[in-house]
Structure 1
Protein backbone atom coordinates (compact mmCIF):
# COMPACT_ATOMS: atom_id res chain seq x y z
CA UNK A 1 0.00 0.00 0.00
CA UNK A 2 1.35 3.41 -0.96
CA UNK A 3 1.27 6.20 1.57
CA UNK A 4 -0.04 9.64 0.73
CA UNK A 5 1.28 12.94 1.99
CA UNK A 6 -1.60 12.97 4.48
CA UNK A 7 -0.48 9.54 5.73
CA UNK A 8 3.06 10.83 6.24
CA UNK A 9 1.85 13.86 8.21
CA UNK A 10 -0.52 11.71 10.30
CA UNK A 11 2.31 9.26 10.98
CA UNK A 12 4.60 12.09 12.02
CA UNK A 13 1.94 13.39 14.42
CA UNK A 14 1.59 9.91 15.94
CA UNK A 15 5.36 9.78 16.48
CA UNK A 16 5.23 13.28 17.96
CA UNK A 17 2.53 12.14 20.37
CA UNK A 18 4.52 9.07 21.42
CA UNK A 19 8.08 10.45 21.39
CA UNK A 20 7.83 14.23 21.62
CA UNK A 21 9.51 16.62 19.22
CA UNK A 22 13.05 15.51 20.08
CA UNK A 23 12.16 11.92 19.19
CA UNK A 24 10.28 12.75 16.01
CA UNK A 25 12.87 11.72 13.42
CA UNK A 26 12.38 10.80 9.80
CA UNK A 27 13.51 7.26 10.68
CA UNK A 28 10.83 6.95 13.36
CA UNK A 29 8.15 8.34 11.04
CA UNK A 30 9.21 5.82 8.40
CA UNK A 31 9.07 3.01 10.97
CA UNK A 32 5.59 4.17 12.01
CA UNK A 33 4.49 3.85 8.38
CA UNK A 34 6.42 0.59 7.90
CA UNK A 35 8.49 2.00 5.03
CA UNK A 36 12.14 2.84 4.44
CA UNK A 37 13.12 6.43 5.35
CA UNK A 38 13.86 7.14 1.69
CA UNK A 39 10.17 6.56 0.90
CA UNK A 40 9.26 9.67 2.89
CA UNK A 41 11.27 11.83 0.52
CA UNK A 42 8.80 11.08 -2.26
CA UNK A 43 6.37 13.24 -0.26
CA UNK A 44 8.56 15.79 1.54
CA UNK A 45 12.01 17.07 0.59
CA UNK A 46 13.24 17.36 4.18
CA UNK A 47 12.30 17.29 7.85
CA UNK A 48 11.69 21.05 7.91
CA UNK A 49 8.96 20.69 5.32
CA UNK A 50 7.41 17.86 7.33
CA UNK A 51 7.55 20.05 10.44
CA UNK A 52 5.73 22.83 8.57
CA UNK A 53 3.05 20.39 7.42
CA UNK A 54 2.67 19.10 10.98
CA UNK A 55 2.27 22.69 12.21
CA UNK A 56 -0.35 23.33 9.52
CA UNK A 57 -2.25 20.25 10.67
CA UNK A 58 -2.08 21.28 14.34
CA UNK A 59 -3.51 24.74 13.65
CA UNK A 60 -5.62 23.75 10.64
CA UNK A 61 -8.98 24.49 12.23
CA UNK A 62 -7.98 27.66 14.08
CA UNK A 63 -10.08 30.67 13.17
CA UNK A 64 -12.11 28.82 10.60
CA UNK A 65 -9.00 28.37 8.46
CA UNK A 66 -9.66 24.65 8.13
CA UNK A 67 -13.34 25.20 7.40
CA UNK A 68 -14.68 25.40 10.95
CA UNK A 69 -16.52 28.46 12.21
CA UNK A 70 -14.34 31.51 12.67
CA UNK A 71 -14.17 33.68 15.78
CA UNK A 72 -16.18 36.89 15.54
CA UNK A 73 -14.74 39.29 13.00
CA UNK A 74 -12.21 41.55 14.67
CA UNK A 75 -11.67 39.18 17.60
CA UNK A 76 -7.91 38.73 17.84
CA UNK A 77 -8.36 37.63 21.46
CA UNK A 78 -10.55 34.66 20.51
CA UNK A 79 -8.17 33.71 17.71
CA UNK A 80 -5.18 33.64 20.10
CA UNK A 81 -7.13 31.60 22.66
CA UNK A 82 -8.14 29.14 19.94
CA UNK A 83 -4.54 28.94 18.64
CA UNK A 84 -3.18 28.21 22.13
CA UNK A 85 -5.84 25.57 22.72
CA UNK A 86 -4.96 23.84 19.42
CA UNK A 87 -1.25 23.79 20.27
CA UNK A 88 -1.89 22.47 23.78
CA UNK A 89 -4.01 19.63 22.40
CA UNK A 90 -0.93 17.98 20.84
CA UNK A 91 2.17 16.88 22.72
CA UNK A 92 4.86 19.46 21.97
CA UNK A 93 2.38 21.15 19.63
CA UNK A 94 3.51 24.59 20.75
CA UNK A 95 7.13 23.74 19.96
CA UNK A 96 6.21 22.45 16.50
CA UNK A 97 4.11 25.48 15.58
CA UNK A 98 6.52 28.03 17.11
CA UNK A 99 9.50 26.42 15.37
CA UNK A 100 7.75 26.38 12.01
CA UNK A 101 6.81 30.05 12.48
CA UNK A 102 10.28 31.08 13.65
CA UNK A 103 11.89 29.54 10.59
CA UNK A 104 9.12 30.89 8.35
CA UNK A 105 8.37 27.40 7.08
CA UNK A 106 5.37 27.95 4.89
CA UNK A 107 2.82 30.72 5.07
CA UNK A 108 1.12 31.39 8.37
CA UNK A 109 -2.58 31.80 7.72
CA UNK A 110 -3.12 32.47 11.43
CA UNK A 111 -0.56 35.29 11.31
CA UNK A 112 -2.24 36.70 8.20
CA UNK A 113 -5.63 36.64 9.95
CA UNK A 114 -4.16 38.33 13.05
CA UNK A 115 -2.40 40.93 10.88
CA UNK A 116 -5.75 41.83 9.34
CA UNK A 117 -7.10 42.34 12.87
CA UNK A 118 -4.15 43.92 14.68
CA UNK A 119 -1.60 44.99 12.07
CA UNK A 120 1.64 43.19 11.22
CA UNK A 121 3.51 44.21 14.39
CA UNK A 122 0.50 43.48 16.58
CA UNK A 123 0.08 40.06 14.97
CA UNK A 124 3.74 39.16 15.53
CA UNK A 125 3.55 40.30 19.16
CA UNK A 126 0.36 38.32 19.78
CA UNK A 127 1.83 35.22 18.14
CA UNK A 128 5.07 35.37 20.10
CA UNK A 129 3.15 35.78 23.36
CA UNK A 130 0.76 32.94 22.45
CA UNK A 131 3.61 30.62 21.43
CA UNK A 132 5.65 31.43 24.53
CA UNK A 133 2.78 30.97 26.95
CA UNK A 134 1.71 27.72 25.27
CA UNK A 135 5.28 26.38 25.38
CA UNK A 136 5.62 27.31 29.04
CA UNK A 137 2.24 25.75 29.84
CA UNK A 138 3.13 22.52 28.03
CA UNK A 139 6.46 22.31 29.82
CA UNK A 140 4.78 22.92 33.18
CA UNK A 141 2.03 20.37 32.59
CA UNK A 142 4.49 17.73 31.33
CA UNK A 143 6.77 18.28 34.33
CA UNK A 144 3.80 18.03 36.69
CA UNK A 145 2.63 14.82 35.00
CA UNK A 146 6.10 13.33 35.50
CA UNK A 147 6.12 14.35 39.17
CA UNK A 148 8.97 16.80 38.62
CA UNK A 149 7.15 19.62 40.47
CA UNK A 150 7.03 18.11 43.93
CA UNK A 151 9.14 20.51 46.02
CA UNK A 152 6.83 21.38 48.95
CA UNK A 153 8.61 24.72 49.38
CA UNK A 154 7.73 25.83 45.87
CA UNK A 155 4.41 26.67 44.40
CA UNK A 156 2.24 23.65 43.66
CA UNK A 157 1.75 22.76 40.03
CA UNK A 158 -0.61 25.28 38.55
CA UNK A 159 -4.14 24.28 37.78
CA UNK A 160 -4.69 24.33 33.98
CA UNK A 161 -7.56 26.80 34.56
CA UNK A 162 -5.10 29.13 36.35
CA UNK A 163 -2.72 28.85 33.41
CA UNK A 164 -5.56 29.67 31.01
CA UNK A 165 -6.57 32.68 33.11
CA UNK A 166 -2.96 33.88 33.25
CA UNK A 167 -2.74 33.66 29.47
CA UNK A 168 -5.96 35.60 29.01
CA UNK A 169 -4.88 38.35 31.43
CA UNK A 170 -1.64 38.82 29.51
CA UNK A 171 -3.50 38.78 26.22
CA UNK A 172 -5.81 41.52 27.50
CA UNK A 173 -2.78 43.64 28.47
CA UNK A 174 -1.29 43.30 24.99
CA UNK A 175 -4.59 44.03 23.25
CA UNK A 176 -5.18 47.09 25.44
CA UNK A 177 -1.72 48.35 24.45
CA UNK A 178 -2.43 47.73 20.78
CA UNK A 179 -5.74 49.57 21.14
CA UNK A 180 -3.99 52.55 22.71
CA UNK A 181 -1.65 52.93 19.73
Structure 2
Protein backbone atom coordinates (compact mmCIF):
# COMPACT_ATOMS: atom_id res chain seq x y z
CA UNK A 1 0.00 0.00 0.00
CA UNK A 2 2.78 2.44 0.87
CA UNK A 3 4.63 1.32 -2.25
CA UNK A 4 1.62 2.23 -4.40
CA UNK A 5 1.24 5.53 -2.53
CA UNK A 6 4.83 6.39 -3.45
CA UNK A 7 4.06 5.57 -7.08
CA UNK A 8 1.02 7.87 -6.95
CA UNK A 9 3.21 10.57 -5.40
CA UNK A 10 5.74 10.20 -8.21
CA UNK A 11 3.05 10.19 -10.91
CA UNK A 12 0.78 12.97 -9.66
CA UNK A 13 2.59 14.92 -6.92
CA UNK A 14 1.83 15.58 -3.29
CA UNK A 15 -1.14 17.87 -3.89
CA UNK A 16 -2.94 15.15 -5.85
CA UNK A 17 -2.19 12.34 -3.39
CA UNK A 18 -5.43 11.65 -1.56
CA UNK A 19 -6.93 8.71 0.27
CA UNK A 20 -9.62 8.57 -2.41
CA UNK A 21 -7.10 8.50 -5.28
CA UNK A 22 -4.97 5.85 -3.59
CA UNK A 23 -8.02 3.72 -2.82
CA UNK A 24 -9.10 3.97 -6.46
CA UNK A 25 -5.64 2.92 -7.65
CA UNK A 26 -5.74 -0.04 -5.27
CA UNK A 27 -9.28 -0.97 -6.30
CA UNK A 28 -10.72 -0.63 -2.81
CA UNK A 29 -13.18 1.69 -1.10
CA UNK A 30 -11.57 4.75 0.54
CA UNK A 31 -12.80 3.57 3.95
CA UNK A 32 -10.68 0.44 3.62
CA UNK A 33 -7.51 2.53 3.89
CA UNK A 34 -8.55 3.71 7.33
CA UNK A 35 -8.03 0.19 8.63
CA UNK A 36 -4.33 0.71 7.92
CA UNK A 37 -3.93 4.46 8.50
CA UNK A 38 -5.87 6.57 10.99
CA UNK A 39 -5.86 9.54 8.60
CA UNK A 40 -4.01 11.05 5.66
CA UNK A 41 -1.30 12.41 7.95
CA UNK A 42 -0.53 8.88 9.11
CA UNK A 43 -0.30 7.76 5.47
CA UNK A 44 2.01 10.66 4.64
CA UNK A 45 4.20 9.82 7.64
CA UNK A 46 4.45 6.20 6.46
CA UNK A 47 5.39 7.36 2.95
CA UNK A 48 8.02 9.77 4.29
CA UNK A 49 9.48 7.07 6.53
CA UNK A 50 9.71 4.64 3.61
CA UNK A 51 11.36 7.24 1.37
CA UNK A 52 13.89 7.98 4.11
CA UNK A 53 14.47 4.29 4.75
CA UNK A 54 15.24 3.75 1.07
CA UNK A 55 17.71 6.62 1.15
CA UNK A 56 19.72 5.29 4.08
CA UNK A 57 23.21 4.19 3.32
CA UNK A 58 24.68 1.13 4.97
CA UNK A 59 26.10 1.78 8.40
CA UNK A 60 29.82 1.38 8.67
CA UNK A 61 32.37 2.22 11.28
CA UNK A 62 33.75 5.55 10.18
CA UNK A 63 34.76 8.96 11.44
CA UNK A 64 31.89 11.08 12.77
CA UNK A 65 32.26 13.67 10.01
CA UNK A 66 32.24 11.06 7.24
CA UNK A 67 29.11 9.55 8.78
CA UNK A 68 27.41 12.96 9.03
CA UNK A 69 28.32 13.66 5.41
CA UNK A 70 26.82 10.34 4.27
CA UNK A 71 23.68 10.87 6.35
CA UNK A 72 23.14 14.28 4.74
CA UNK A 73 23.70 12.86 1.26
CA UNK A 74 21.30 10.02 2.01
CA UNK A 75 18.60 12.44 3.17
CA UNK A 76 19.06 14.63 0.10
CA UNK A 77 19.05 11.63 -2.25
CA UNK A 78 15.86 10.32 -0.65
CA UNK A 79 14.12 13.66 -1.02
CA UNK A 80 15.18 14.09 -4.64
CA UNK A 81 14.33 10.54 -5.69
CA UNK A 82 10.57 11.14 -5.54
CA UNK A 83 8.35 13.87 -6.90
CA UNK A 84 7.61 16.34 -4.09
CA UNK A 85 9.72 14.16 -1.78
CA UNK A 86 11.36 17.15 -0.10
CA UNK A 87 8.02 18.85 0.51
CA UNK A 88 6.57 15.64 1.93
CA UNK A 89 9.51 14.88 4.21
CA UNK A 90 9.84 18.48 5.41
CA UNK A 91 6.11 18.68 6.11
CA UNK A 92 5.85 15.39 7.94
CA UNK A 93 8.96 15.96 10.01
CA UNK A 94 8.35 19.65 10.75
CA UNK A 95 6.72 18.71 14.03
CA UNK A 96 9.15 15.86 14.66
CA UNK A 97 12.54 16.99 13.41
CA UNK A 98 14.02 14.72 16.09
CA UNK A 99 13.70 11.72 13.78
CA UNK A 100 15.89 13.36 11.13
CA UNK A 101 18.32 14.88 13.62
CA UNK A 102 18.87 11.84 15.85
CA UNK A 103 21.45 9.98 13.69
CA UNK A 104 23.40 13.19 13.06
CA UNK A 105 23.37 14.04 16.75
CA UNK A 106 24.74 10.57 17.56
CA UNK A 107 27.55 11.01 15.04
CA UNK A 108 28.46 14.41 16.50
CA UNK A 109 28.42 13.07 20.05
CA UNK A 110 30.65 10.20 18.96
CA UNK A 111 33.02 12.86 17.62
CA UNK A 112 33.17 14.54 21.03
CA UNK A 113 30.41 17.17 20.81
CA UNK A 114 28.60 18.05 24.00
CA UNK A 115 24.80 17.81 24.01
CA UNK A 116 24.24 21.45 23.00
CA UNK A 117 26.67 21.39 20.07
CA UNK A 118 25.35 18.02 18.90
CA UNK A 119 21.75 19.30 19.03
CA UNK A 120 22.44 22.56 17.20
CA UNK A 121 24.86 20.95 14.75
CA UNK A 122 22.37 18.22 13.82
CA UNK A 123 19.55 20.74 13.47
CA UNK A 124 21.72 22.97 11.28
CA UNK A 125 22.65 20.07 9.01
CA UNK A 126 19.05 18.88 8.65
CA UNK A 127 17.77 22.38 7.91
CA UNK A 128 20.53 22.90 5.37
CA UNK A 129 19.66 19.68 3.56
CA UNK A 130 15.89 20.32 3.66
CA UNK A 131 16.29 23.82 2.26
CA UNK A 132 18.83 22.97 -0.44
CA UNK A 133 17.42 19.96 -2.25
CA UNK A 134 17.27 21.94 -5.53
CA UNK A 135 20.76 23.39 -5.37
CA UNK A 136 23.32 22.18 -7.87
CA UNK A 137 25.55 19.40 -6.60
CA UNK A 138 28.70 21.59 -6.39
CA UNK A 139 26.85 24.30 -4.42
CA UNK A 140 25.31 21.75 -2.07
CA UNK A 141 28.63 19.99 -1.57
CA UNK A 142 30.41 23.26 -0.84
CA UNK A 143 27.75 24.38 1.65
CA UNK A 144 27.73 21.04 3.43
CA UNK A 145 31.51 21.11 3.59
CA UNK A 146 31.45 24.58 5.15
CA UNK A 147 29.09 23.44 7.90
CA UNK A 148 31.12 20.30 8.60
CA UNK A 149 34.34 22.35 8.62
CA UNK A 150 32.83 24.61 11.27
CA UNK A 151 31.77 21.63 13.37
CA UNK A 152 35.22 20.05 13.00
CA UNK A 153 36.82 23.28 14.23
CA UNK A 154 34.61 23.21 17.33
CA UNK A 155 35.54 19.60 18.06
CA UNK A 156 39.30 20.00 17.85
What do residues 79-125 of structure 1 show as CA deviations (whole Å, max 9, x unaligned)?
101211121111111111111110328x62x4211111231211111
Greater relative contact order (Cα < 8 A, sep 6+) = 2
Q: Confirm whether residue 175 of structure 1 aligns to residue 142 of structure 2.
A: no
Partner secondary structure for residue 60 of structure 1: helix
Cα shift at 1:61 = 3.6
Asked whether the equivalents of residues 76 and 130 of structure 2 are also in contact (C-alpha less than 8 Å), the reply is yes
1:59 equivalent to 2:56? Answer no
Unaligned runs of 5+ in 2: 109-117
Structure 1 residues 73 and 113: alpha-carbon distance in aligned structure 2, compared to 1, 3 A threshold: farther
Tell me: CA distance 1:63–1:13, structure 2 relative to 1, closer, same or farther (3 Å). closer
Q: Which has the higher helix share?
A: 2
- How many residue pairs are counted as aligned between the two chains? 142
Q: Which runs of 5+ in 1 are unaligned?
A: 1-6, 138-162
Runs of 4+ off more than 4 Å: none
Length-normalised TM-score, structure 1: 0.72
Contact kept in structure 2, 1:62 and 1:70, CA below 8 Å: no
Q: Corresponding residue for 2:125?
A: 126
State whether residues 16 and 24 of structure 1, in contact with CA within 8 Å, keep that contact through their aligned partners in structure 2: yes
Backbone CA RMSD of aligned residues: 1.8
CA distance in 2, matches of 1:97, 1:54: 9
